[in-house]
Amino acid sequence: MPTILIINPNSSKKVSINLEKILILPAGTELYFYTAPSDAPKEIDGTESLIQSEQVVLPDLLDKHLHEKYDGYLVSCYSDHSLIHSLAKKTTKPVKLLVLTSISGWNATLDEAIVPFCGTGKFCSEKFQRTRALDFLVLILAGEDEFSKILDGKIDCALLGCAGMAGLDEKLLELYSGVVFVDSVKAGVEFLLALIRRS
């Protein structure tokens, strides 16, 4: 039976509790959850907190030998988190991170991450809208009405990036029936399972 460690790289237990609530256990799979220690940032809102998160989480995972225990690892942060790369060097198991962000400081970074995915050498505006931000902190994410400020008739699909947005896909679908909302953590679990089965 495949085992997956869902890594919350910030110290917010609230985010981890929400992930445990919304992730439906795929048949024949065991999910385990990890929350970063209290000296990690409460949320990751830019490069500085991202680096601090990796500096706290990686040694903790290694000290507890968690990098050897599971079949796959999902870093639940919607960024090119450096923990993905450093953890992947310490294990032979799949480590993955799977564009809607909470603050505009992420817009350029997330747009740049799409370029290698497209394989075109430039932002693929024929397929993607530029990243849009809600411009409020993830930990106070409560009002779905905030989404109406950024959604318009040109959007068919919105990627809910941050783990703090986990579980909003179904709520938002009720409000915006013409838009598909993809919960990146749910999608990440399914993607990781496919990699585990393949390896």
Looking at domain 3-98+185-198, its CATH architecture is 3-Layer(aba) Sandwich (3.40)
Element (H, E) at 180: strand 180-183
What confidence tens digit (pLDDT) does each residue in 160-172 have? 766 667 677 777 7
Instruction: Give residue 45's pLDDT.
Output: 77
Cβ contacts of residue 15 below 8 Å, gap of 6+? 8, 35, 43, 76, 138, 139, 163, 164, 166
Give CA–CA dist 38/134, Å, rounded: 26
Tokens of residue 104, six digits: 């505009």
Instruction: Give residue 127's pLDDT.
Output: 60
Structure pTM? Answer: 0.67
**pLDDT of the chain, 199 residues: tens digit per residue:** 899 999 999 999 988 888 888 888 778 889 999 999 999 999 887 789 889 999 999 999 999 999 999 999 988 887 777 898 899 899 988 775 444 444 566 667 667 766 766 677 777 666 666 666 655 554 444 445 555 555 555 666 777 766 667 677 777 777 777 777 888 778 888 888 888 888 7
Element (H, E) at 98: none
What confidence tens digit (pLDDT) does each residue in 52-73 have? 999 999 999 999 999 999 999 9
Computed over every residue of the chain, the mean pLDDT equals 77
| Domain ranges within the chain, ordered by starting residue | 3-98+185-198, 100-183
